Amino acid sequence: DQQVKQNSPSLSVQEGRISILNCDYTNSMFDYFLWYKKYPAEGPTFLISISSIKDKNEDGRFTVFLNKSAKHLSLHIVPSQPGDSAVYFCAASESGSNYKLTFGKGTLLTVNP
């Protein structure tokens, strides 16, 4: 049973426009959420996170929104740049889970110049 779902395998946007990547989860015990970015031939790198006590966290061009009632989070990238082209993984964790992160399958974002 997949607890973290990224239903869009890929997304293509134009440079300068907004990219919105979505993630749904089923485990109501998750209380910490993260987004990772992965370029080919490299390991994932941490991008941004949000605790369940918040509904929004912003870091430069990246904003994560959390809707707990819908068990949904999204990553907004504004404006999108060609260098943002990568696979984005959503991950979730619950307190007391011994540091376990549960990852989604990832969404390939392509930003076209």
Partner 1 sequence: EAQVTQNPRYLITVTGKKLTVTCSQNMNHEYMSWYRQDPGLGLRQIYYSMNVEVTDKGDVPEGYKVSRKEKRNFPLILESPSPNQTSLYFCASSFSMGAGEQYFGPGTRLTVT
Half-sphere exposure of 18 (CA within 13 A, CB side): 9
Q: What is the token pair recorded at 99?
A: 């540091």
45 binding partner 1? (CB under 8 A): yes
CB of 17 or CB of 54, closer to partner 1: 54
Residue 95 is a binding residue for partner 1 (CB under 8 A): yes
For residue 109, the minimal CB distance to partner 1 (Å) is 15
60 is an interface residue for partner 1 by CB under 8 A:
no
Which of 7, 16, 105, 112 lies at the binding interface for partner 1 (CB under 8 A)?
105
Residue 32 touching partner 1 (CB under 8 A): yes
Task: Determine how β-strand 10-14 pairs with β-strand 107-112.
Answer: parallel
Tokens representing 31?
Answer: 């209380």
The smaller minimum CB distance to partner 1, of residues 6 and 19, is found at 6
- Residue 64 and residue 46: Cα distance in Å, rounded? 13
Number of amino acids touching partner 1 (CB under 8 A): 27
CB atoms within 10 A of CB 27: 15
8 A C-beta contact, residue 50 and residue 57: yes
The footprint of partner 1 (CB under 8 A) covers 6, 31-32, 34, 36, 41-46, 49, 89, 91, 93-101, 103-106
